[in-house]
Amino acid sequence: MRKFLSLPQEKQDNIITAAMTVFGDVGYKKAYISDIAAKAGVSKSLIFHYFGSKKGLYSYLVYYTGKIVMTEAQHERDTAGKDFFARALVTIKFRLSLKKRYPAMNTFIDSVFNENDDEVASDTERLLAIATDMHTGISLTPSEERQFKGGVSAPLVAHLVEKYAEGVLCSYDGSISVEDACEKVSACLKMLKDRL
């Protein structure tokens, strides 16, 4: 791996983005190193030189993605405080920022949820655990559930916010800044919070 990390950052990014895109689009089994190499603008042998095999590359992507998600998500979560809606906003902002900086990463993570190849089962389980931990950043605590007005179903509110977050992420195309997108998200969450 040291050899790969000694490459210029742009070349590393090209290979990582190409690999995430191809694995994300077609899954592990149908992904070909030749397609990844062509997309990255490098030779197939160069990828084998750095990663040894398709599984080696996939394992590295899981490690790389997990490291970014764990480090950055934890930092963001630590700044959110105890309020459910504040945590939801921080989580959405984090995921939008991730999508903007690493456009292929969300597709790759999504593909991991559907991956069933036994060869990479341990890798997918590891990334799923990390992604699930990040996702639970917007779940309600028991004390927060008791703060809603009578007749309001806290689990339904959490489900609504979760689906709203998914919609925001799916529709975000990078044409506006993450901050501008989050202003709209913040206004929607505040409106919901004020009525509950």
pLDDT digits (tens, 9 = 90+) for 1-27: 788 988 999 999 999 999 999 999 999
Query: Domain span at residue 22?
Result: 2-195
Give the CA-trace dihedral at 182, 186, 192, 196, to 10 degrees. 140
The pTM (predicted TM-score) of the whole model is: 0.74
CATH number at residue 60: 1.10.357.10
SS3 41: coil
Per the structure, how many domains does the chain have? 1
pLDDT digits (tens, 9 = 90+) for 37-76: 999 999 999 999 999 999 999 999 999 988 888 777 666 6
